[in-house]
Amino acid sequence: MNAIHPRGLFVRITGSHVSQRFTETSITGLPESNFVVADLEVNYEFAGKRGLAGLQLTNVFDREFAAVIEGISVDRIAPYRRAIASLRWRLW
């Protein structure tokens, strides 16, 4: 979903479906899991298109996913929550 405001604000919310499969492990029979993560992006464009400031968050709700089978624990998988801030400025 996208929202654009005339004053230069742009907001995007996306959902990603992730399918987790364990392929490179010596443990057999690990189940496949599926889940959805939400991402958020907010940008602001300065007047006269002089620059762009942005913030991007992946896995906004920092959902954790783990599998435990018969006492065997598997490490937490990606995607972890991540924030990226950026600033672009036009010099001339």
Domain ranges of the chain: 2-89
Residues of the chain with pLDDT under 70: 27, 65-79
Tell me the Ramachandran region of residue 33: left when phi exceeds 0, alpha when psi lies from -120 to 50, beta otherwise. beta
- 1-8 contacts, C-beta under 8 A, 24 or more apart: 8/44, 8/45, 8/46, 8/47
> Would you say the pTM of this structure is higher than 0.75?
no
Instruction: Give residue-wise pLDDT tens across range 28-48.
Output: 777 777 788 899 999 999 999
